[in-house]
Amino acid sequence: MIDTLIKRILELNNPSVVGLDPRLDFIPEFIKQEAYGSYGQTLKGASDAYLRFNKAIIDQIADIVPAVKPQIAMYEQFGYEGIKAYLDTIEYAKSKGLIVIGDIKRSDIASTAEAYSHGHIGRVKVEEHSYCVYKEDFITLNPYLGVDSIEPYMNDCQKYNKGLFILVKTSNPNGGQIQDLSTDGKRIYEVIGSLVSEWGQASIGSYGFSQVGAVVGATYKKQCLELRTLMPHTFFLVPGYGAQGAGAKDIADCFNKNGLGAIVNSSRGIIAAYKKDKYASKYSEKEFHYAARQAAEDMKKDINSVIQ
Amino acid sequence: MIDTLIKRILELNNPSVVGLDPRLDFIPEFIKQEAYGSYGQTLKGASDAYLRFNKAIIDQIADIVPAVKPQIAMYEQFGYEGIKAYLDTIEYAKSKGLIVIGDIKRSDIASTAEAYSHGHIGRVKVEEHSYCVYKEDFITLNPYLGVDSIEPYMNDCQKYNKGLFILVKTSNPNGGQIQDLSTDGKRIYEVIGSLVSEWGQASIGSYGFSQVGAVVGATYKKQCLELRTLMPHTFFLVPGYGAQGAGAKDIADCFNKNGLGAIVNSSRGIIAAYKKDKYASKYSEKEFHYAARQAAEDMKKDINSVIQ
C-alpha cells in the first residue's frame, strides 16, 4: 500500500492528505438543518451531518489529493451512529479513488491488538464467513506497549497489503514530556524511531519506503530533520501543518533529497477553510466545499514550494 | 467515582474485576445459534452473541464482583454493530449495579482527546441537546502524548465524577521495550508513575486515592512493589492475573498495608471458565455462567488470601 500511496502522490504531484475531522461548528447550517430535519438534533442527526459534509468535501478534492485521514474520535464520540458515519465516509472516499488513513492511534497487548487489526485492516471471521469491516488502507498506532503490540498489525499489512504510521514524535505542545526524555544519550522518540525503522526493514517497497511508517509532527522542525536522517526508509505522516501552527518551511526537512518521504496533513485548514478570512471573502457558507478545494490547491502549492 | 469503587470493593470484600472480552470461540454453541438464527453469521449476529453471553455472565456475577471491564477492541472489530453491543453491555452492567471500566486505551492530542472524553465519560453536545453516550465510570488511557493529551479527561472526571487508569507498566511480554528504558537513573514507567501520581494530587478522595489511577501489570512483581511505594495515592488496575500467567502472590504487592489500592482483572479466566479442566468437570457448556460465578468466587478467595 505504501507503493500505491507514493505512486498517487507522484501522479498528482501532491504530498498532502486532508484530515476529515469534522466538528458540528465547522459544518454549514444548511447541511445540519437537512440532517436534523431527517433525524432530529440527535447522535444520528449529528452523524448524518458529518457524512453529508464529508461527501461534499470528498467530491471536491478526490481528483487533486491522494488521501484522506478521518480521525475516528470525532465519530466515535457519537456512539455506534458515529462509527457508522466513519465507515460510510471511508467507503465513499474509497469509491472516489482516495487512499484512506484511519487515524485511530490504538495501543493494546497482542491478543487485543489482533482484534483491532482484523477489524481495521484485516478480516474478521464469523464462523464460515469473513468480513472486511473498516477498510482503511493505513492506520496510526501508539508504540508504548512495545513490539508485540504492533506485530499483529504487521502481519495483516503483509497479508492484505496495508500500511501503518506509528507515533514517533507527536505535534502537540506536551508531546515531549515523555518522547523527549533521554536514555543512553538518545531521546525516546529516537529510540522509537529506530525501532519503527527496524520493524519496517522486511517490507521496503519499490520506492525505498516500508509499510511501517511514522507520525512525525511538523511543529518540531529540528526533530523532523534528525528523524529523516535516522529513518531513510520510513515514510512520514506529518500532522501539525496549518491550524496547529507549522508552515511549509517547517515540513521541508521531512522530505528526502528526491522530494519523497512524507505526506503532510491538514484538517480544519482545509475542511473549514470557508470560515477563514482568506477564503470567506470569496466563498459563501454554501460554497464551503469549493473553499476546501481551493485551500487544498493552495496547500499543495505551498508544500511543493519547499521540496526538491 | 474512585470512592464509589472502593466502597463497593469493601462491601463485597472483593478487589477484582471481570474483563468482558468475549471471543466467538468462548461463547457456547447454543448462544451463537440463537444469535445467528436471528441475524445470520454476520457482524450483527456476532455482536448479538456477545451481548447475550455478557448478559448471562453479568446476571451471575453482579452481586459478588464490584466491576466489569469490557475491552472495546473485541466489539469495535465488528464495526458499528459491535459498538452497539459494547454500549448495550455497559448499560446492562450498570442496570445491575456494576461499576464499568471501559478498556479503551485511547491516546491523542488535546482537541481530539476532548472528543473521546466527551463521548466516553462526559457529555456530547448536539446543538441544544447533550448526550451521555458510552457511560463508562472509568476508562483506561495511554500517556505517550503527555499531559495535554490527558487534561481533557481530567476535566470531565471532575465535572462528572468519573475516573481514569493510565498505562504505567503493562502486562505484556514486550511492555518493557520502551517502558523499562532508563532516563536520569529512573525507568520510563517510574517517570510516568510519578506524573500520574502528580496528575491525581488534586482529586484524592476519602479513602486516600485519587481519580487518576494507573494500570500496573501483575506479570511484573518487582515493579508492582516499586510503584506501590512510589504512588501511595494512586489506585491500580492490575491486568495479567490468570490467563496471562500471574497468580495471587504476584499481585500481593499492589495492595498497601490496609489491603487497599488495587483491583485485579481476570477476563477469560472467568468468562471462559467452563472451558478449563477445573470447571469443565462440574459445569456443562449450558452452565457457562455458573462456571463464571464459581471462578469469580475462587478468584476473590485467592486474592484475599494474600492481602492484609
Quote the pLDDT of residue A247: 87
Contact state of A183 with B179 under an 8 Å Cβ cutoff: no
Confidence at residue B247, expressed as pLDDT on a 0 to 100 scale:
87
pLDDT of residue A243: 74
- Under the banding of pLDDT at 50, 70 and 90, the label for residue A159 is very high
Calculate mean pLDDT across residues A15-36.
98
Interface of A with B in 250-289 (CB under 8 A): none
Predicted confidence band at A300 (pLDDT cuts at 50, 70, 90)? very high
- ipTM of the prediction: 0.97
Residue pLDDT, tens place only, B239-273: 989 877 888 888 999 999 999 999 999 999 999 99
pLDDT for B90: 98
Chain A, nearest residue to B83 by Cα: A80
Fold of B7-304: TIM Barrel (3.20.20)
Does A94 qualify as catalytic in the annotation?
A: no
pLDDT attached to residue B254:
95
Helix (H) or strand (E) run with residue A265 in it: strand A262-266
pLDDT tens for each residue of B77-132:
999 999 999 999 999 999 999 999 999 999 999 999 999 999 999 999 999 999 99
The confidence band for A302, taking pLDDT boundaries of 50, 70 and 90, is: very high
The model's pLDDT over B7-51, given as tens digits with 9 standing for 90+, comes to: 999 999 999 999 999 999 999 999 999 999 999 999 999 999 999
> What DSSP state is assigned to residue A246?
B
In this predicted model, what pLDDT tens digit does every residue of A178-213 receive, in sequence order?
Answer: 999 999 999 999 999 999 999 999 999 999 999 999
Q: Using a CB-CB distance cutoff of 8 angstroms, which residues of chain A are in contact with residue B153?
A: none
The pLDDT, as a whole number, for residue B170 is 93
- Among B24, B43, B176, beta carbon nearest to A131: B43
pLDDT at B242 (0 to 100) = 83
Of all residues in chain B, the one with the smallest CA distance to A188 is B178
CB spacing of B106 vs A177 below 8 angstroms: no
- Residue B53's pLDDT band (cuts 50, 70, 90): very high
- Cα torsion through A40, A45, A46, A52, rounded to 10: -130
* pLDDT score, position A244: 75
- Given an 8 Å threshold on Cβ–Cβ distance, is B109 in contact with A171? yes
Nearest to B172 among A24, A115, A146 (CB): A146
Residue A80: which of B45, B84, B183 has the nearest Cβ?
B84
- Answer whether B109 touches A (CB < 8 Å): yes
C-alpha distances (whole Å) from B135 to each of A71, B6, B94, B97, B101 are: 21, 19, 9, 13, 10
pTM over 0.80: yes
Name chain B contacts of A166, Cβ cutoff 8 Å: none
Instruction: Give me the pLDDT at residue A107, please.
Output: 96
H, E, C per residue of A203-241? HECCCCCECEEEEECCCCHHHHHHHHHHCCCCCEEECCE
Task: Tell me: pLDDT of B164 over 80.
Answer: yes
Burial profile B162-201: b = 16 or more Cβ within 10 angstroms, e = fewer: bbbbbbbbbbbbbbbbbbbbebeeebbbbbbbbbbbebbe
Percent of chain B exceeding pLDDT 70 equals 100
Q: Which residue from A112, A126, A181 is facing B188, i.e. has the nearest CB?
A: A181
**CB of A184 less than 8 A from some CB of B:** yes
Each residue of B197-227: pLDDT tens digit? 999 999 999 999 999 999 999 888 899 999 9
* A147–B24 C-beta distance less than 8 A: no
pLDDT the model gives residue A151: 98
List B residues 78-97 in contact with A (Cβ-Cβ < 8 A): 78-84, 87
pLDDT of residue A221: 87
Residue B163 · residue B138 · CB < 8 Å: yes
Q: Which CATH class is domain A2-304?
A: alpha beta
- For residue range A109-144, what is the model confidence (pLDDT) as tens digits? 999 999 999 999 999 999 999 999 999 999 999 999
Residues of B in contact with A239 (CB under 8 A): 109
- Whether residue A242 is predicted with pLDDT greater than 90 in this model: the reply is no
With bands split at pLDDT 50, 70 and 90, how would you rate the model's confidence at B193?
very high
